[in-house]
Amino acid sequence: DQQVKQNSPSLSVQEGRISILNCDYTNSMFDYFLWYKKYPAEGPTFLISISSIKDKNEDGRFTVFLNKSAKHLSLHIVPSQPGDSAVYFCAASAAGDYKLSFGAGTTVTVRA
Amino acid sequence: EPEVTQTPSHQVTQMGQEVILRCVPISNHLYFYWYRQILGQKVEFLVSFYNNEISEKSEIFDDQFSVERPDGSNFTLKIRSTKLEDSAMYFCASRGRQGTSNQPQHFGDGTRLSIL
């Protein structure tokens, strides 16, 4: 399933700076997009989502941007903190089709 | 905060044996899911369950797999005759109310299934 792609397997960022994670999708029927964070030995934890009728959603330090024409979304984390070090998954679903399609994940390391 | 719980955290089983993975979804949720993640691969959808029946299943979810909600709280995944390639992390997820699909799924911490 290559419908959701995260092309950067890893990202290293200094504490206090911005982390930008990218995700591309191919299925034009996707209308709901989510970001999950995962620590080792734990399940994915929901972070933030966005509906296709919006282009931006913000929740505290996390902002998700959606560019439908480019089939691209991004997650911004500002400022980055050591506790943000984890694997971040992009996921998407289509209307009436509630299963999630996941990207491969990006491992974020926040350096002190 | 309510959470999805899964047991056991790790299951080791001989090939060909049956295994049951258990999940307790968030109590007022109506939609239930199983996903799996083989080591080094993506999280992939197995099955969704609503109103006491399967609403969708993937190609992976063949006749060896079944799901059940035996009571008001548990949601189980059974693999009848396990194969080596069933070794993976299995995640249960649940989602809330009826209507719009635009609600996040909440995941448990998973069961690591190791087939020997």
CA distance B66 to B23: 14
> Rounded distance, CA B89 to CA B108, Å?
11
Q: Using one digit for the tens of pLDDT, what is the confidence trace for B12-42?
A: 999 999 999 999 999 889 899 999 999 999 9
Residue A43, φ and ψ in degrees, nearest 5: -85, 170
Q: What is the mean pLDDT of chain B?
A: 93
CA closest to B57 among chain A residues: A99
Q: What is the pLDDT along chain A (112 residues), one digit of tens a residue?
A: 689 999 999 999 999 999 999 999 999 999 999 999 999 989 999 999 999 999 999 999 999 999 999 999 999 999 999 999 999 999 999 987 779 999 999 999 999 9
Best interface-test mutation with B: which of A30, A98, A106 has the largest number of B CBs within 10 A? A98
Q: Find the CB nearest A1 among B6, B44, B48.
A: B44
Do residues B46 and B86 lie in contact, with contact meaning Cβ atoms separated by under 8 Å?
Answer: no
Query: Within 10 A of B64 (CB to CB), how many other CB atoms are there?
Result: 14
Q: For chain B, what's the residue count?
A: 116
Chain B residues with a Cβ under 8 Å from any Cβ in chain A: 4, 6, 31, 33, 35, 41-45, 48, 55-56, 58, 91, 95, 101-102, 104-110
Nearest-angstrom CA–CA distance, A15 and B39: 29
Q: Which residues contact B52 (CB under 8 A, 6 or more apart)?
A: B69
Q: Would you call A44 and B43 a contact, using CB atoms and an 8 Å cutoff?
A: yes
Mark out chain A residues that contact chain B at CB-CB < 8 A.
1, 31-32, 34, 36, 41-46, 49, 51, 89, 91, 93, 95-105
Helix extents (H) in chain B: none
What confidence score (pLDDT) does residue B100 get? 60
Q: What is the largest distance, in Å, between two alpha-carbon atoms of chain A?
A: 44
Tell which of B9, B30, B42 to mutate to test the A interface (max A CBs under 10 Å).
B42
Do A102 and B43 lie within an 8 Å CB cutoff?
yes
Strand partners, B79: B19, B65
B9 — pLDDT class (breaks 50, 70, 90): very high
pLDDT reading at B1 higher than 80: no
Q: Which of B45, B29, B38, B41 is nearest to B106 (CA)?
A: B29
Q: Residues of B with CB below 8 A from A1's CB? A: 42, 44
